[in-house]
């Protein structure tokens, strides 16, 4: 065996130096097991609910390699007719509020009721915070091993726009694989809640008992985006404080425009760790769909989300094309210098750069002169 391996290595070494005909076709071909599955193979595997194929499909969708991107879009196009049938639930709240613990309990309860649950995260910082993902895995111990649950952390090393896009696409894949509840958790703070709101039907905000929203790092606008506010950890010594917080939130919500037309955002108590109040939250979500689906409000929301996403993608791509255009790069330094020397106005400088790539110059302003 050793001798043979050695000879093979020698042979390869000479082959690299002096290209010769390959001795057998077998050596030049990728073995079938290592060949990446085609979009059609992946689509069939996903539709059959095959978890390995689902994981591979997600990896394909997360890839930024242009060749993978084309295959991913082909896969998604094939699966589109089989998507859209899940309850899309977003869960947000500041770090430590108990999201992961809540999702473990909530997800397990749903699985016991016969649901198939996918849990995705939006976390643009996940490259830096592998620790928190490991922490989540230990907090979702039971859910992690359930054959009817699928947990997938955020793609790492991406900016928010990229993470949001891949999470949206992963959600579609999970729906095609037969998951009827998709929970998306926002792990980051700040802009992530807005990205999350733009991809789910129902938005649940978890708050801690006591302490104003500002103390919890919750921005004012976030409460206005919620379809339900739950004061979590309402257990033990926290109960009384939690009830006071609930009343405060309920009073404040009364004066806010509801996040979803025809739906009054409520404030409730829960404790993700021991499960109190968790079934009631699912009942609220069911009531939400029961009321709004027949009115077409869910479908309308999803359509608006698709259009907003389309616009985002176009704007992102236009920016990328503009800044990477050699005609812009060629004029950049001169325009910048002219602006800083007070020879041109900001508006004209912007126009000059924009006109460098435009086939039709802007009609209303004096044409920028290219000397």
Measured in whole angstroms, the distance separating CA 184 from the mean position of its chain's CA atoms is: 8
Q: Which residue is nearest to Mg ion (CB)?
A: 100
Given candidates 99, 166, 246, 351, which one binds ligand GDP under the rule CB under 6 A?
A: 99
Residue 134 beta carbon to Mg ion: minimum distance, rounded to whole angstroms: 11
If one asks whether residue 126 binds Mg ion (CB under 5 A), the answer comes out as no
The contact pattern for Mg ion, residues 131-160, with x = CB under 5 A and - = no contact, is -----x------------------------
Given candidates 90, 153, 209, 272, which one binds ligand GDP under the rule CB under 6 A?
A: 272
Residue 191 beta carbon to ligand GDP: minimum distance, rounded to whole angstroms: 18
Distance CA 318, CA 163 (A): 19
Q: Which two tokens stand for residue 42?
A: 């992946």
If one asks whether residue 101 binds ligand GDP (CB under 6 A), the answer comes out as yes
Given candidates 181, 223, 253, 271, which one binds ligand GDP under the rule CB under 6 A?
A: 271
Distance CA 248, CA 208 (A): 13
Distance CA 62, CA 263 (A): 35
If one asks whether residue 95 binds ligand GDP (CB under 6 A), the answer comes out as yes
Name which of 71 and 242 has its Cβ closer to ligand GDP.
Answer: 242
Q: State the sign of the Cα–Cα–Cα–Cα dihedral 107, 108, 111, 116.
A: positive
Given candidates 197, 233, 301, 351, which one binds ligand GDP under the rule CB under 6 A?
A: 233
If one asks whether residue 100 binds ligand GDP (CB under 6 A), the answer comes out as yes
Residue 143 beta carbon to ligand GDP: minimum distance, rounded to whole angstroms: 12
Q: Which does 97 bind (CB under 5 to 8 A by kind): ligand GDP, Mg ion, none?
A: ligand GDP
If one asks whether residue 100 binds Mg ion (CB under 5 A), the answer comes out as yes
DSSP string, 262-274: T---EEEE-BTTT
Q: How many residues bind ligand GDP (CB under 6 A)?
A: 16
| Ramachandran angles phi, psi of 30, nearest 5° | -70, 130
Name which of 87 and 233 has its Cβ closer to ligand GDP.
Answer: 233
Distance CA 27, CA 44 (A): 29
Residues 303-329 as b/e (b if ≥16 CB within 10 A, e otherwise) read eebeeeeeeeeeeeeeeeeeeeeeebe
Residues in contact with 62: Cβ distance below 8 Å, sequence separation at least 6, in sequence order: 155, 166, 170
Q: Which two tokens stand for residue 318?
A: 């236009």
CA distances from 246 to 126, 255, 267, 275, 362 (A): 32, 15, 6, 18, 55
Name which of 99 and 166 has its Cβ closer to Mg ion.
Answer: 99
If one asks whether residue 273 binds ligand GDP (CB under 6 A), the answer comes out as yes
If one asks whether residue 245 binds Mg ion (CB under 5 A), the answer comes out as no
Name which of 135 and 212 has its Cβ closer to ligand GDP.
Answer: 135
| Ramachandran angles phi, psi of 160, nearest 5° | -55, -45
The contact pattern for ligand GDP, residues 327-366, with x = CB under 6 A and - = no contact, is ----------------------------------------
The contact pattern for ligand GDP, residues 125-144, with x = CB under 6 A and - = no contact, is ----------x---x-----
If one asks whether residue 92 binds ligand GDP (CB under 6 A), the answer comes out as no
Residues in contact with 168: Cβ distance below 8 Å, sequence separation at least 6, in sequence order: 199, 309
Residue 169 beta carbon to ligand GDP: minimum distance, rounded to whole angstroms: 24
CA distances from 228 to 124, 238, 253, 317 (A): 25, 20, 10, 35
Q: Which two tokens stand for residue 339?
A: 């602006």
Distance CA 78, CA 39 (A): 8
Stretch that binds ligand GDP, among 81-89, 252-260, 267-275, 279-287 (CB under 6 A): 267-275
C-alpha torsion angle, residues 85, 90, 96, 97 (rounded to 10): -110
Name which of 96 and 157 has its Cβ closer to ligand GDP.
Answer: 96
Please report, as ranges, the residues that interact with ligand GDP according to CB under 6 A: 93, 95-101, 135, 139, 232-233, 235, 271-273
């Amino acid at each position: 065996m050793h001798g043979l391996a050695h000879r093979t290595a020698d042979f390869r070494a000479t082959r690299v130096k002096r290209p010769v005909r390959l001795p057998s076709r077998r050596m030049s071909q990728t073995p079938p097991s290592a060949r990446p599955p085609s979009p059609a193979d992946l689509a069939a595997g996903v539709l059959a609910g095959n978890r390995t194929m689902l994981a591979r499909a997600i990896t394909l969708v997360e890839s930024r390699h242009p060749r993978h991107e084309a295959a991913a879009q082909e896969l998604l196009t094939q699966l589109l007719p089989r998507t859209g049938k899940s309850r899309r639930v977003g869960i947000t709240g500041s770090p430590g509020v108990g999201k992961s613990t809540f999702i473990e309990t909530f997800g397990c309860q749903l699985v016991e009721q016969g649901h198939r649950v996918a849990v995705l995260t939006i976390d643009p910082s996940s490259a830096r915070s592998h620790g928190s993902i490991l922490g989540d895995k230990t907090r979702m111990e039971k859910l992690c091993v359930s054959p009817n649950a699928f947990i997938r952390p955020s793609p790492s090393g991406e900016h928010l726009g990229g993470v949001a896009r891949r999470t949206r696409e992963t959600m579609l894949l999970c729906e095609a694989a037969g998951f009827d509840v998709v929970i998306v958790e926002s792990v980051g703070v700040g802009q992530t809640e807005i990205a999350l709101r733009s991809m789910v039907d129902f938005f649940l905000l978890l708050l801690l008992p006591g302490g104003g929203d500002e103390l919890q790092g919750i921005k004012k606008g976030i409460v206005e985006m919620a379809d339900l506010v739950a004061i979590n950890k309402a257990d033990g010594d926290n109960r009384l404080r939690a009830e006071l917080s609930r009343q405060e939130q309920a009073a404040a919500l009364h004066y806010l425009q509801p996040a979803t037309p025809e739906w009054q955002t409520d404030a409730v108590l829960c404790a993700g760790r021991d499960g109190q109040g968790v079934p009631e939250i699912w009942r609220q979500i069911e009531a939400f769909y029961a009321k709004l689906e027949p009115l077409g409000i869910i479908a309308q929301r999803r359509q608006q989300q698709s259009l907003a996403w389309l616009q985002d993608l176009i704007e992102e791509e236009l920016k990328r094309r503009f800044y990477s255009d050699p005609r812009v790069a060629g004029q950049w330094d001169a325009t910048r210098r002219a602006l800083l020397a007070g020879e041109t106005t900001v508006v004209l400088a912007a126009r000059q750069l924009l006109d460098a790539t435009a086939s039709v110059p802007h009609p209303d302003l004096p044409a920028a002169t290219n000397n």
